[in-house]
């Protein structure tokens, strides 16, 4: 059974991975691993991340894939990675690589964390109970402003190709703000006004009604 991730195991994974690599590599954590660092959310057994090489070529990816296999074997931790994690979902992450927080360097690997607002796009798209708990915890701990969130969520909808996922995302944002807003931003949080701000940011004409 894969181990449950915590910061120590995340660090160990990248320490071992860095020993297998010989070129500068940028990693941007998302998913539960990022949530664990941002807000000590529920444990997970895998690490999700984007990876970029300073000088990329086909050999870079071959070496990286071999290094990942070896590191998984040594740690028992699963890894899901892609050059562009925006392709993982139907709601766009936009220019997410410009919106990261520094974490730590492990040899040739520079590890960053996807900024909470961008990290939450995947969580909001899925919107299962564990995802909701993760968002509440991270937004509280990181003190993420509600207007920043609705701005990013609205822009994500504008930048996404049309699909039913956009309508679902919109409804899930509205539900989240109405039911969890006060627990995150306090008793003065105004769900109605915040939802209106979200509608303004996204432009209702871009969403399937």
Considering only residues 3 and 106, tell me which one the structure prediction assigns the higher pLDDT. 106
- Residue among 207, 174, 206, 180 at smallest CA distance from 193: 174
Instruction: State residue 204's pLDDT score.
Output: 66
Q: State how beta strands 78-82 and 100-106 pair.
A: unpaired
Write out pLDDT tens, residues 33-44: 999 999 987 777
d(CA 109, CA 70): 16
Say what the pTM is: 0.93
Question: How many residues comprise the chain?
Answer: 209
Mean pLDDT calculated for residue range 154-177: 96
- pLDDT of 92 > 70? The answer is yes
């Amino acid at each position: 059974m894969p181990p449950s991730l915590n910061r120590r195991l995340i660090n160990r994974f990248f320490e071992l991975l860095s020993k297998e690599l010989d070129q500068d590599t940028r990693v941007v954590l998302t998913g539960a691993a990022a949530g664990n660092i941002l807000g000590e959310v529920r444990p997970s057994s895998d690490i999700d991340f984007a990876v970029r090489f300073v000088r990329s070529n086909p050999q870079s990816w071959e070496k990286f894939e071999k290094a990942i296999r070896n590191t998984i074997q040594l740690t028992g931790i699963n890894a899901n990675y892609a050059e562009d994690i925006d392709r993982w979902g139907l709601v766009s992450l936009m220019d997410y690589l410009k919106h990261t927080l520094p974490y730590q360097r492990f040899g040739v690997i520079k590890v960053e964390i996807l900024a909470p607002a961008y990290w939450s796009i995947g969580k909001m798209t899925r919107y299962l109970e564990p995802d909701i708990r993760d968002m509440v915890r991270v937004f509280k701990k990181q003190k993420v402003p509600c207007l920043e969130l609705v701005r990013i969520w609205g822009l994500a909808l504008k930048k996404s190709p049309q699909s039913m996922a956009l309508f679902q995302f919109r409804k899930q944002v509205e539900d989240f703000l109405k039911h969890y807003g006060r627990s995150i931003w306090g008793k003065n949080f105004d769900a109605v006004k915040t939802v209106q701000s979200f509608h303004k940011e996204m432009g209702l004409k871009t969403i399937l009604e």
